[in-house]
Amino acid sequence: ALKAGIVGLPNVGKSTLFNAVSNSAKAQASNYRFCTIEPNVGLVDVPDTRLNKLAELVIPDRIVPTQIEIVDIAGLVKGASKGEGLGNKFLGNIREVDAIIHVIRCFEDENVLRDEGAINPVADKEIIDTELQLKDLESIEKKIPKTEKGAKTDAKLKAELEVLLRCKAHLEQGRSIRELGLSKEEKVAVADLFLLTDKPVLYVANVDEGSMHTGNKFSEALTAAVQNENAQVIIMNNSIEAQIAEMDNEDDKALFMDEYKMTEPALDRLIRSAYKLLNLYTYFTAGVQEVRAWTIHEGWKAPQAAGVIHTDFEKGFIKAEVIGYDDYVQYKTEAAAREAGKLRIEGKEYIVKDGDVMHFRFNV
Ligand code: GDP
């Protein structure tokens, strides 16, 4: 599963958020791991209304959502990039994630300790950004001399060197690599570095209860500050989410959410956004035993998509029967869609679309 890492300064509400995610994962009886020595890891279902809609039509024995892994990366503090204490280890954990969920404290509470004085979401974000940028600078600076050597005789390395130098200058200005807009070709130069500030990010503005639906002056300042990054800011209250996630009884949960005028847990919104951030596609299989969502990347061809279910499906791939999601919903059954000419037979070169309902034919 793809991984999203939760980062942020101490006492901003990271573990509260992580507990909410892992408890709701538990309540949904999904596959789930938890350990406290390594960063906390939980597998969580990705809510998808299309999956539910298909299940309403097919009425299967089981509904299986796709999942992403959420990692709680604690311990990031000012100076972490200097390698003091565990700082380096935490930064290493960030290197392994595919996307970053950056939690920012946007609530005031004198009982919750804070080292940096008055609440200041923009300054907080910059502290974390700076640590990640310094770490990236270190990676870039290590690679430059090696590339320089070869660049004298090799045109490809010369081009790479140019990208590295641009990255360096950019980082030195206190900017993140994701803002640099490197092309696909240019990214090759830094692909092996797994740069931290190149990872897609979304921000969680952890606001007080009263600002859950409206945001507050802190979340507004944050939203304004990240405008150039083209990043999403999710306004939520992590404590409320943790309380919802702990409820086993659906009626209690509904009542509680009603009281707070919530139509769904903000967590669902967060997980959907994290999934989107990872640039993933979902296709479905729909049968009486199981209606299930599968994760693929944009641009994957049918055999590769089939391989997510089983490697044999990829190796022995013959063809795929495909019904577009909208067609499936319109015609309500596979048979009706087939009759209407909406079931397509696709071969090895077919590029799977988000929402396709697929049935694979394969040789064993
Ligand atoms: P972490 O260090 O970022 O993991 O922060 P925690 O999740 O452990 O939260 C630190 C403290 O802040 C705990 O006492 C939480 O109960 C409290 N906290 C978390 N979210 C909120 C919130 O939205 N409002 C308030 N008032 N307190 C919160």
Domains and CATH numbers, the chain: 3-112+199-277 (3.40.50.300), 127-197 (1.10.150.300), 299-362 (3.10.20.30)
> Residue of the nearest CA to atom 19 in ligand 1?
13
- CB of 243 sitting under 6 A from ligand 1: no
Between the CA of 113 and the centroid of ligand 1 the distance, in Å, is: 9
Output the pLDDT for position 38. 43
Structure letter (DSSP) for residue 8: -
Output the pLDDT for position 147. 94
Which residues are part of a known binding site?
11-16
Which of 19, 238, 243, 260, when mutated, tests ligand 1's pocket best, judged by the most ligand atoms within 8 Å of its CB? 238
Q: What is the dihedral of CA 186, 189, 193, 198, to 10 degrees?
A: -10
> Residue of the nearest CA to atom 15 in ligand 1?
13
Model-level pTM? 0.85
Q: What is the mean pLDDT of each run of 10 residues along the chain (364 residues)?
A: 89 91 60 38 84 95 88 83 72 90 94 88 95 95 94 93 97 94 92 94 96 97 90 95 86 92 89 85 96 92 96 95 97 96 97 97 88
Do 266 and 241 contact (CB within 8 A), yes or no? yes
- CB of 10 sitting under 6 A from ligand 1: yes
Do 54 and 291 contact (CB within 8 A), yes or no? yes
Output the pLDDT for position 31. 33
Output the pLDDT for position 114. 87
Output the pLDDT for position 86. 67
Which residues are part of a known binding site for ATP?
11-16
C-alpha distance from residue 12 to each of 3, 103, 107, 196, 235 (Å): 21, 7, 9, 21, 13
Output the pLDDT for position 68. 83
Output the pLDDT for position 276. 84
**Closest ligand 1 atom to Cα of 8:** 3
Query: For tokens 């994760």, what's the residue?
Result: 295
Output the pLDDT for position 304. 96
